[in-house]
Structure 1
Amino acid sequence: MKRRALTGATVSITLSLVVSLVVSLVVSLGGPAGAATADDLPPSKPTGIWECIADYHGAVPMCWTPSTDDTGVSGYDIYIVEDGTARLHGTSARPAYTATGLIPARPYTFFIVARDAAGNTSPPSDRYTAHAQVGLPVPGCHVEHATGRSGPWSYAAIKLTNTGTAPVRGWTLHFDLPDDLRIEFSWGAKWSQDGAHAALSNLAYNETIPPAKTTELGYAWRHSAAAPRPKRFSLDSTPCTVTYLP
């Protein structure tokens, strides 16, 4: 069997091919073992905190501008500051958080720290102070209705009380009367009537009724007997409880 000698050109081509393959392999594997660069870049500081989301009793809902990071932000830690000491209140995977279990109307201070998957943490956000919400207002009203007569007039005296948790502004009290009863004049309110439906609207001096406060008003008509008790009292669209007096 004949052996074929390798020429210099053949050896040169062969070594070149081996070097090329090695280089390709190193590039495809991302370099030699141990040459990877560690992630030591922290996320950017969270900014622009503002109150958001719906109104919850004893809560401070907050949103902020998302932090940025070279490999991505994995979450946020929300700290509350009380008596000069910061403690972790909760965490969030997105740029929004609702702190609950707080005392309504009391101010609370928070700051936020972003973190990435490598455990790097951002500089803390500026401190954010907000009052814990008292919750959505609960409407409510009560009508005390008393009738009487004075000469040719029959009248109804009304005490209207705001039993809700928020002031009532620009109000109208709606109720129904017998078909044959027509209001002639009113006090403490401006009257209107369309068939059996009657309404008494605020004047300038009693436009606002604070919670737990009462305003007095009434209406009169010509009638041979005392009026029946009106039905379905409502303050704007809120049904009222009623107490009828003789």
Structure 2
Amino acid sequence: MAAQLRAANRRGRALAAFAVAAAGGLLAAATFGSGPAGAAGTTLRDLAEAKGSYFGTAVTQNDLNNSALTAVAGTQFDMVTPGNEMKWDTTESSANNFNFGPGDKIVSFAKSHSMRVRGHTLVWHSQLPSWVSSLPTAQVQAAMENHVTTQATHYKGQVYSWDVVNEPFNEDGSLRTSVFYNAMGSGYIADALRTARAADPNAKLYLNDYNIEGVNAKSDAMYQLVSSLKSQGVPIDGVGLEAHFIVGQVPSTMKANIQRFTALGLDVAITELDDRMQVPASAANLAQQATDYATVISNCLAVSGCVGVSQWGVGDADSWIPGAFSGYGAATMYDDNYQPKASYNSAVTALGGTAGSPSPSSSPSSSPSSSSSPSTPPSGAACKVSTQVSSWNTGLTENITVTNTGGSAVNGWSVKFTLPGGQTVSSAWNATVSPASGQVTATNLTYNAAIPAGGSTSFGFNANHTGNTAAATGFSLNGVACSIG
């Protein structure tokens, strides 16, 4: 499940309060009255910290270019999980050739906003470079230990915890077949934990998996494994419950399940929370999502040893769900325009705060209206476009920045471009984008209609693809062709 497309985002927080509310657009990280987003006592992070807990999110390197996203992330959350930047295919794409630059950017972002970091992940069967998968059996253990040691040493003292082994189980509770299991048997898990502890003695060490939130065969297997590891003296500090839910399906045994793990002397963390629904979202499903978020948070707060909750992604626009589950989306507390939904208010209430009503535009099926008619740029108008694409199995995210290089302001804009064949837009932010494929037009929303001379604006979209992950081409601004750079 989560293994399919964490890259979409999976989506992962520049940040200073983002006061676009004055333009009638995005609420700057959703305050409950006057004053800047993140005012004392009003944010998720403040409310969680007041209860000795944390409230985190996941971001990717690409997300750091989205000012709307980072505004919410930097004020509302106090824990960051890198979406992809600490996975093996990024950090060691070829043997013993390490690249920590992307992960360092996430850590730097976290430090600048007084956020901690959940390291994710050291050993996982997915997003492995081919050289690891093709190693002779006799070389796997040394490669794994070298990877864990080098990465954990690099981030020593900079991460709160590590998901040391990610998603080790099949749904029936058997251990998943992987290059590590094939070479070392079940002992690879204990070896990875011991190696991580030796490299960074102060980081919390977790095993992390999905569909183990309630009592079932898979969570039973995790319980038996961690019990055995504890009895052997293997260093393990916690279990991560990913919590990728469908609306209305939070297990009734979740609290009891958390309690049995904490009774072993382990921490429990909700690590990748989202709650997907069929889209367009119905009022009933949005209301159920609000109930689900409150239930999950309350289950965690009710058990000493459940240390915090992290949502996977900041808002619906950067969520991995649409790319992984056709016809589903609207899985987070913030809509495509990073406005708070009913689930945000229910989370605030569950944390002991007092929530206001989300604005009408917080429904994922609606967005701020665009200006009625983009203006024609004055004589001598010119533009430049830069694009950034992050792709995964069958999906991609593209962020587009348009710079007005002309001598006069543009008031109201329409950017036309061509999507490569096989790409279909599934969601967008900071613009209205249509149609979903072929020749596409992105039109400003109410809060970002003006581009001053020398200024720029950014928008982006998630898209499904059939293999071609190239960037869009043929950009024009209000009918004037743009250069690429």
TM-score, with length taken from structure 1: 0.41
TM-score, with length taken from structure 2: 0.21
Q: Point out the structure with max Rg over C-alpha.
A: 1
More strand as a share of residues: 1
More helix as a share of residues: 2
Bigger relative contact order (CA 8 A; separation at least 6): 1
